[in-house]
Amino acid sequence: MNYTLHQLEIFKKIAEVKSVTKASEQLFLTQPAVSIQLKNFQDQFKLPLFEVVGRKLYITEFGEEIAKAAAKILEEVEAINYKSSLFEGELAGKLKISIVSTAKYAMPYFLSGFIKENKMVDVTMDVTNKMSVIRALENNECDFAMVSTIPKKLKIEQIELMKNKMFFVAGKDYKIPKKNVSLKDLNESIFIFRENGSATRLAMEKYLVKHKIEILRKMELTSNEAVKQAVIAGLGISIMPIIGINDALKTGDIQILKIKDLPLETYWNLIWLRSKNLSNVAKAFQQFIINNKEEIIEEQFRKYNNSSKY
């Protein structure tokens, strides 16, 4: 047999996602290239690794065993690469970060420079809701988390990153009776909420209670992107972080409603457990953020902190 590491990686991914198309997307390869490598890999075995029934791909029992073996081989190769880099004086290892969904618009900018400087560092970034992020932190499943609300029950350390400004927004066809919308004008609208556990939902609920806004109809969605698309479609109004809707504002698909006591302002924070023994990679990332956060915020996020613009 003469299979390559590249073929092992491709088959492992296909076995995970059960689709050549999805595997090609996640590996940033063309579908024909993945199909060719899959065929070449299959040709080296007498037993089938997979079968196609209808339009669905199924991994055979034999294929599952080969996929497990491939995963182990690739892990060993990764370990060899890490050890080689360490002996050469390079930083090598894994960095695990868990972030709330709206932080996905910010965290990549804080990671970019660090990854470019340290090519042997692999990053896993889990994008989920606040409750899941805190659970991952509490269970030691990640090195760092990015949140806008600090968990009170955990003993954590933090680095304050940047402002998180939230506005009431509506679709382009939302009828505004006058220049500034009054709180009473909102009562007939459908309010679009994030799911329970979301910091954005909590901020929105506090604002509505504080100003005694009556909610007659509401909708609940499980991601910031879903809320944005619902607002664009004219399904209702919501309070959303400005960082996640900037493109829609530029195209005019979303409009900011000028309402009393807005925007709401919190801060994004990079947090970690005080008791956690940070790896060398995690310590290096921590120091990178401390040294470079002001420059990153100025270069990438100055437009979001300009209050006069909105």
Tell me the domain boundaries of the chain.
Answer: 5-87, 92-162+267-309, 165-265
Between CA 70 and CA 63 the distance in angstroms is 10
Residue 1 has pLDDT above 80, yes or no: no
Residue the block writes with tokens 């329970």: 196
The CATH architecture assigned to 92-162+267-309 reads 3-Layer(aba) Sandwich (3.40)
Terminal-to-terminal C-alpha distance of the chain: 63
pLDDT above 90 for 158: yes
Higher pLDDT, residue 286 or 84? 286
Q: Can you give the pTM of this predicted structure?
A: 0.67
Mean pLDDT confidence for 127-150: 90
Closest C-alpha to 169, from 99, 247, 100, 101: 247
Q: What angle do CA 224, 227, 229 make, to 5 degrees?
A: 110
Q: Alpha-carbon Rg of the chain, whole angstroms? A: 24
Out of 2.40.128.110, 3.20.20.100, 1.10.10.10, 1.10.1740.10, which CATH number does the structure's domain 5-87 have? 1.10.10.10
Residue 170 burial (10 A CB sphere; 0-12, 13-18, 19+)? buried
Domains 5-87 and 165-265 share a fold: no
Mean pLDDT confidence for 30-46: 92
Predicted local confidence at residue 74, as pLDDT: 86
Q: What is the CATH number of domain 165-265?
A: 3.40.190.10
Mean pLDDT is lowest, of 89-93, 125-129, 198-202, for 89-93
Q: What is the pLDDT of residue 180?
A: 66
The Cα 146–Cα 44 span in angstroms is: 46
Q: In terms of pLDDT, which residue wins out, 185 or 169?
A: 169
Rounded distance between C-alpha atoms, residue 267 and residue 147, angstroms = 8
**pLDDT at res. 288:** 95
